[in-house]
Amino acid sequence: MPTDSASQALAILRDRSQFQWYVIPILAFVVYVYAVEVERKNWNLVFAGLAFWGMDWFNEIWNSLVFYFTNFAPVWGAPGKTAFLILIGLNIEICFMFAVAGIVFSKMLPADKKMKILGIPNRIFLAVAFSIFCVIVEFFLNAVGALTWDYPWWDIKAPILIVLFGYLPFFLMAYWVFDMKSIRKKATVTGIIYAVNLIAILVFGVGMGWI
């Protein structure tokens, strides 16, 4: 039986009556961020941002599948106020945030990828540090009920899995793509991420109706 938070999220899942006009200026902001980097031909940032966003979609898909197969709760849910709940743990506001987050966090990378911070390769150090930062933000979101956790192994008392599986892969993938030497490789890897997501959405969403 679904938890109360899961039931609340299901009640507004893809409910178009939830729409609010503030979605449009946020969309414009996301487009602007990418347009600026494209204009400057900062392909490292463009593909790092897209890879980061694609990894979030992958996480949101498997999170929705967890709810389908357990009929209890997703690993994380987003039952709070939103202009549109896309998946049980992904609303339009979260979606747009992750769309630009990869670019923002990649802008902080040192130019020298071999440089170390406290003896640790800077890409690894920053990926872990930023993952921890994001989890701390989630603590506040959970505290106000905007983001819900119903499993004891994924909450404020057990944050390690949130760091390792909730965020670290996003950063590692984005930074890996950022450092690739050719645009073709960046585009190929990013394309594979989105191809996997698209297939999953078509199969599990459109086809089977599981998400």
- Which pLDDT score, from 0 to 100, does residue 89 have? 97
- Which pLDDT score, from 0 to 100, does residue 60 have? 98
- Which pLDDT score, from 0 to 100, does residue 104 have? 97
Domains of the chain: total: 1
**In which domain, by residue range, is 9 found?**
4-207
* One-letter identity of residue 16: R
What is the CB-side half-sphere exposure of residue 108 using CA atoms within 13 A? 14
E strands along 65-148, which residues?
Answer: 85-87, 90-91, 116-117, 120-121
Per-residue pLDDT averaged across 31-48, rounded?
A: 97
How confident is the model over 157-209, as pLDDT tens digits?
999 999 999 999 999 999 999 999 999 999 999 999 999 999 999 999 999 99
How confident is the model over 124-138, as pLDDT tens digits?
999 999 999 999 999
Give the model's confidence band at 50: pLDDT under 50 very low, under 70 low, under 90 confident, else very high.
very high
- Which pLDDT score, from 0 to 100, does residue 34 have? 98
What pTM value is reported for the model?
A: 0.95
Contacts of 136 (CB under 8 A, 6+ apart): none
Write the burial class of residue 47 (CB in 10 Å: 0-12 exposed, 13-18 middle, 19+ buried): buried
Per-residue pLDDT averaged across 92-118, rounded?
A: 96
Contact 193, 55 (CB under 8 A): yes
Contact 194, 187 (CB under 8 A): no
Percent of the chain residues past pLDDT 90, beyond the cut: 99
Report the alpha-carbon distance of residue 168 to residue 174 in Å, rounded.
10
Give the model's confidence band at 43: pLDDT under 50 very low, under 70 low, under 90 confident, else very high.
very high
- Which pLDDT score, from 0 to 100, does residue 96 have? 98
* pLDDT, averaged across the chain: 96
